[in-house]
Amino acid sequence: MPDTQVHLLWKTLEPVKSSEGLSLLPTMTFEQCPALDVLCVPGGAIGQVEMMRDEEVLNFLRQQGETAKFITSVCTGSLILVAAGLLQGYRAACHWAFRDQLAMLGVEVRTERIVIDRNRITGGGVTAGIDFGLLVAAKLVGEETAKVIQLVLEYNPAPPFDAGSPETAGEAIVEKFNQMGRPLQTVSLAQTRQTADRFAWVYPSN
């Protein structure tokens, strides 16, 4: 986008290895970071769970959230935002498999790919990040420029299968997903319950 600067932020400038083994190089530390116009928290696998209990991360998000023009997330990043106390009482989206957990934390969970509630903009899982990015671009630099970005990306999705949501994928595919994702969901649920306890919210016994 024109006239914008993007930073990858972390505690140090040392490379951060993702859960899939990809090394990410921070461009600025939390301490060096100025007030941000847009605060964006991505989702992930076990890293999302770890950040939900990392007070240094949560304190940084709270501090930036006080002045940011937009507070945003994609996928399970919304769980991190709510752990920082930045999403309670808002409508929000996240990856479909974690909607129940988000609802446990005082969020009005929606099924749309992108949800805007005041200055909170949240996206669903993974590919919703493209829709999310274009919408944020439109708010920052205008719809026409956002359309140019869409064209540059040749973003004209036509998936070969209609299995991009649990409603269209069918029970058999959803069950296969659940088998694959159960270990992560179990760990995430345990952390969500700890977060709920920390905020003194009541969560379902199951």
Give the model confidence (pLDDT) of 98-145 as tens digits.
Answer: 999 999 999 999 999 999 999 999 999 999 999 999 999 999 999 999
Write out the two tokens for 170: 């069918």
- Fold assignment, 9-198: Rossmann fold (3.40.50)
Top-confidence residue, 33 or 206: 33
Catalytic sites, residue numbers: 75
All residues at 6 or more sequence positions from 83 whose CB lies less than 8 Å from its CB, including other chains:
51, 52, 53, 58, 105, 195
Q: How far apart are CA 19 and CA 183, in angstroms?
A: 14
10 Å Cβ neighbour count for 186?
9
CA distances from 150 to 10, 30, 37, 104, 134 (A): 29, 31, 22, 35, 7
Q: Is the Cβ–Cβ distance between 123 and 93 less than 8 Å? A: yes
Q: Which residue carries 């959803």 as its tokens?
A: 174
Locate the domains of the chain by residue range: 9-198
